[in-house]
Amino acid sequence: MSQEKLFGSSGIRGDAKEFFTNQTSFDLGRVFSIFLSKHNINGSIAVGMDPRESSPRIKSAFIKGLFYEKREVFDEGVTPIPSMNWILKSNNSIVGSVMISGSHVKPHLNGLKFFAFGEEILKENEEEIQEIFNQEKEKVKFDSVKDSELEVPIEESQAKTSYIEYILSKAKLPFTKMKVVIDAGNGAQSEVAPEILKRLGFEVIELNTNIQNEFMSRDTEVSGDFEELQKVVVNKEADLGIGYDSDGDRVVFIDENGSFISGDYSGSLIAMGIDTKNIVTPVNTSSVAEKTGKEVIRTRVGSPFVVGKMKEIGAKFGFEANGGGIFSEMLSRDGGRSTVEFLNLLNSKNMKASEIVATLPKYYINRDKVEYEWELKDKILEEAKKEFRGIKTDETDGLKIWIDDNTWILFRSSANAPEFRVFVESLNEQKSKNLLKKGLELVNGLVNK
């Protein structure tokens, strides 16, 4: 029996057709139910999705697996991923939830993310699910189970509506009147973020907020993916631009001048407004985190690692470089909560977005990625260690080489998609650009060899 590895740094990802077949999706539905039962957790399961083309089919097959295991299912339709965590907090009869989403990866890929025990599952839970999958895979054939013999899901939108009320409750009113452009990429925040901001009294300009239109897969760590939003902010003379990834758990901000604010900076700024002595963030985020006045604890890349460490030390806030803020009240990435907390900060300081970013030192952060075959990972890291010399190295996740006290380069393979990423930071802009170019040349040279 195949023992393929299911989980990457955050959830399960794979080709929508080749990996997420009806059989595998059905198996995973059964497996999640069995996992909950092993923990003596009985009750209903909620399932949501992003609007990519493959999501409805995968969701249908996954739900069929849940039904086979005699679970009641609530179908939440298209909804932001943090709402699938919040539903566990707001409805005690729902004991587990799942989001069908590939997040930022290309439309032909997809993924699954699981929530249980009131939060995003941890790495040890992933190992349990992996073990159950290895045991149960294809034991029951998808085609042998007739739909007529199963229940039908309860279609509703409580995840979305209760999440909206939760986010509204975090706003520190009243807000100064602002003009805001929201770009949801026709993804899961399309019907949620505009409603929240309008109800808070903002003048809202909507951009790509129709889930019936072309699905946009964008990486919140790449400023070029939000060029349209940057232009609209300037052309409409808006005070702020807000952009989301496909499933709505990550957010990026554009200042009034059209400049991209990376997740490193928005996360650090939000952290400064949180009453906590320490914050948790992965090795690939900027050193600007250390300038917040908080103790910074570094982890491997991936929200489960951040969540695990937050629980261990009792931190109230953690964040990732991709714009994913994680709050102790709901231990998973939350683009909506991060949005409101950033707006709270702007309002309390009575500052423009560019002004509040300028209160932190200016690090030049450059990131890029190369599509590649996973088998090349060790070779790339080996060559990078030979090619780049520095004052110290960190192998917490990938290979991070400190060239000097204020300059580093990180070589790291994505665990969710066949992408190799290079991250660079320096106080010197040209040094950062040149170092990234050199790092990418090394990776491309090995990939194209």
**Which is it for the CA torsion 14, 18, 22, 24, positive or negative?**
negative
User: Are 12-157 and 173-357 the same fold in CATH?
Assistant: yes
CA 9-11-13 angle, to 5 degrees, is 95
Q: How many residues can be counted in the chain?
A: 449
Residues 6 or more apart whose Cβ sits within 8 Å of residue 288:
264, 265, 268, 360, 361, 363
CA dihedral 292, 295, 299, 304 (to 10 degrees): -80
Distances from the Cα of 289 to the Cα of 140, 186, 306, angstroms: 49, 31, 14
* CATH number 3.40.50.720 is the correct assignment for the domain at 173-357: no
What class has domain 12-157? alpha beta
In the chain, where the domains are located: 12-157, 173-357, 364-447
3-state secondary structure of 46: strand
Residue with tokens 């699954």: 112
Domain with residues 364-447, CATH architecture: 2-Layer Sandwich (3.30)
B/e letters for 111-150, b = 16+ CB within 10 Å, e = fewer, are: bbbbbbeebbbbeebbebbbebbeeebeeeebeebeeeee
Beta bridge pairs of residue 400: 394, 410
Note the helical H segments in 188-274. 193-199, 227-235, 263-272
The pLDDT averaged over each successive group of 10 residues in the chain (449 residues) is: 73 94 98 98 97 96 96 97 96 96 88 94 94 97 86 92 98 95 97 98 98 91 90 98 95 97 96 92 96 95 91 96 94 96 96 97 92 94 95 96 96 87 96 97 95
Q: What is the DSSP string of 379-395?
A: HHHHHHHHH---SEEE-
Strand partners, 365: 425
How high is the pLDDT of residue 2?
A: 47
Q: How far is Cα 216 from Cα 229, in angstroms, rounded to an integer?
A: 13
**pTM to 2 decimals?**
0.91
CA 64 – CA 43 distance, rounded (Å)? 16
Residue 391: partners with Cβ closer than 8 Å, 6 or more residues away: 402, 403, 404, 405
Q: Given this model, what pLDDT does residue 148 score?
A: 73
